Chains A and B, each alone.
Chain A
Amino acid sequence: MSIEVQYRNRAKELLSNGEVKLVVGYTGGTTPERRRPVFISSAEQVDRLVLDDLCIANLSGYLVTESLLSDEKSVAVFLRPEGIRSINILAAENQLNPDQIVIFGFEPAGNTIKALDGTNALEFSEFVVSLSENPSVSDSDPVIEKLEKMSAQERFSFWQDEFSKCIKCYACRQACPMCYCRRCIVDCNQPQWINTSPHTLGNFEWNIIRAFHLAGRCVECGNCDRACPVNIPLRLINRRMAVEARESFDHFAGLSMTQEPVLASFKKDDSETFIL
C-alpha cells in the first residue's frame, strides 16, 4: 500500500471518528508538476489528497492561522522533517499546542518518499535529534562557499543585485511558518525602522532584519525561497544564519519543544573573538 493510500485511509478514519476536524495536505495543482495545499474537512474528500515527491511546501504555517486551533480540536497535517522541526519551534514559542497536531510525516527517499513513524511531535524526538546529528543537507553550500571567498565589496554587489529585485511583496514572510507575528516589524511606522519602499536600501534592510529574526529559528524548509517571485536566493542567507547558530551556539533549530530560542538565551562562555 502506497503512503498516499495509507495516509488517505488514516485521514478518513481520523475525520470520520472526529479525532481531527481538518487535514491539511497536498493536492494536484494547475500543472502536473504542481502540488497545492488543500484543507480536507470531511471523510468524503480524502481522495483529493495527493502525496508524492513533488509535495515540498512546509504546511506548518497554516496551523498558526488565527483561531484555527482555538477550539482545542485537533488538526492533522502532512509534514516533511523540516515541518516537524517547525512544529517544535512553534510549540516552544507558545504558538500552538502540539497535542492538537496530528502529524502525517514523510521524508524524501531518492526519487520517492517514505513515511515517518509517529503522530505526535514528541514521538519524533529521536528522529529530530538524528537530523541534528546528520544534517541531511551538508552545511557547506557551494554557493555560500563561493560567496565567502569573495571580497566584502563583491558580496555587497552580489546582494545589491539580488535585493534590488525585491518588490516587497512579502511572499517570503507570508510563506514562512516562523513569521507568525500579528504585526511585522516592517509594518511599524512609529518609528519606521525598515524603509518600506522597494528601493535597494529598503530591500537590504528588510531582508537583513528578516534573516536576523530567523536566526536559530529557520529550519530551511525553503518556503521563502520558492515563494519569492523574483528569485532572490533567500535560502543562502538563512542557511548562513543556521550555520552561525550551529557553529557559535551549538543550536539546531527545532530540536525540541523545550528548546530555548538562541537569541533569548546565552552562555557565559559564548565565544567572542571579534569584541575589542
Chain B
Amino acid sequence: MPKILSADKLDNCIERWKSSGNTVIGPVRKSNISAYRPVEKASEFELDIVLPDLSIKELFFPQTEPILKYAIRKQAIDTTEFLPPSGKRIVFGARPCDASGVAIDDPLFGWDYRDEYWFQRRNETVIVSIACVKADDFCMCTSLNLAPDSTMGSDILLRPINGGKGWLVEEITDRGRDAFASIADLLQESTESPVPPAAVPEKFNLEACVEWLKNPENFESRFWKEISVRCIGCASCTYLCPTCHCFDIQDEGDTYSGIRRKNWDSCSFALFTMHTSGHNPRSTQSARWRQRIMHKFNYFPGKFSLNKCSGCGRCSRQCPVDMGITETLQEISKLLP
C-alpha cells in the first residue's frame, strides 16, 4: 500500500536525518530571496511556492569554490588542494525541474574529466522532490518532454495530498529508499490520492525547433539579431539556470600566496570568449545568445542525447528585459513551415 509522509512528521524526519549525520536542506526564504539552504526545523521551509528563485545547481556546483591554495616561496611553490567536500545531505522539497537539471549535468561533469567536486556531492546527496501543483506563466517543463511530476534526477518524489497535510511517497532510487528506510516508522499507509500535478501548457514544439537549429543555414539567420537585440548581456539567465555549468578558474590573493577558485562563468559575457589577442569570436550579443540556445538544444543533445534545459523558466522569469528560452523557441516555431 502507498505510504504517506505527513507534514506534521516533517520535524521528526529532519531530526532523524540529522541524527544520522545528514545536513537537511530545502527551499528557504532569507533576505528576500528563496533558495535551497540548510534548515534545523520544518518551519523554515518555504514549500508553497512555484519554485525557489535560485536553482538547486549551487548545492553541487557552488558559485565559487576553492580548489587549490598556493604559497610562492623562494625555492618552491607550496600547494594544497582542497578536497571535494564530504557530508551527507538530504535535499527536501526540490522541484522536479531542479532535480532533472542536476541529472542533465551529470554526463557533462563525468565526461572526459570526472569532476570530483560535483560527484562527491552528488553521491552524498539525496534529492527528495515534491511534484508541482502550482505553475506560473514561465514554467515550460512539458515543452521539454518533462513534467511537473517527472522523476528525473530525484531519489524520492513526493506528491502532495489534499489540504497540504502530507505527501505520497514514491521511491525512485536505492539512495532514496535508504534515506526513507530510516524514517519508515514515521510514514503512514494510505490510499489517499494525490493532488494532480499542475497543468503546464506546452509552449513550443521542441523537435521542430531543434530541426531548425540543426539546419546550418539558420546559423547566420537575421533571426538571432532580432530576437536578442534587447539582451543587455548580463548573466542572470545562466546563473539562475539549473543546467548552465560554465566556470572559470581564477587565482585570487596577494602577491605570493592565494587561492585558486572555480567560479561560475557565463557565455552571456562579452569577455567569455575574448582572446588574448583582442579578437572575440562571439563579438556580438546575438552570437552569444545563439550560442546559448544552440548549446542547450543542438550541441549538448548531440553529445549526450539530453536537452540542456529542464524547463524551469527561471531564465525568462528573472530576465531584466523579459527575454528567455521560451520566447526564442516560440519565435523559432513561427519561422517553421
Contact = CB atoms under 8 A, between A and B. Distances in A.
A48 interface: no
Interface of A: 29-31, 34-39, 57, 61-62, 161-162, 165, 167-171, 173-175, 187, 192, 195-199, 202, 223, 226-227, 229-231
Q: Which 5 A-B pairs have the closest CB atoms?
A: A36-B322, A171-B234, A227-B320, A174-B234, A169-B235
Interface stretch (B19-27, B84-92, B96-104, B263-271): B263-271
Given A30-B316, A36-B323, 6 more contacts: A39-B230, A173-B234, A174-B320, A223-B320, A227-B234, A230-B53
A198 B234 contact: no
Given A162-B31, A196-B250, A171 B264 contact: no
A140 B254 CA distance: 41
Contacts, number: 99
A226 B320 contact: yes
Contacts of A223: 320
Interface string B266-288: 10010100000000000000000
Interface in B209-266: 229-230, 232-236, 238-240, 250, 252, 261, 263-264, 266
Contacts of B252: 192, 195-197, 202
B33 interface: yes
Contacts of B138: 30
A213 B302 CA distance: 45
Contacts of B137: 30-31
A146 B262 CA distance: 37
A199 B64 contact: yes
Contact of B54 (A30, A174, A196, A230): A230
Contacts of B326: 30
A174 B32 contact: no
A223 B320 CA distance: 8
B106 interface: no
A36 B321 contact: yes
B63 interface: yes
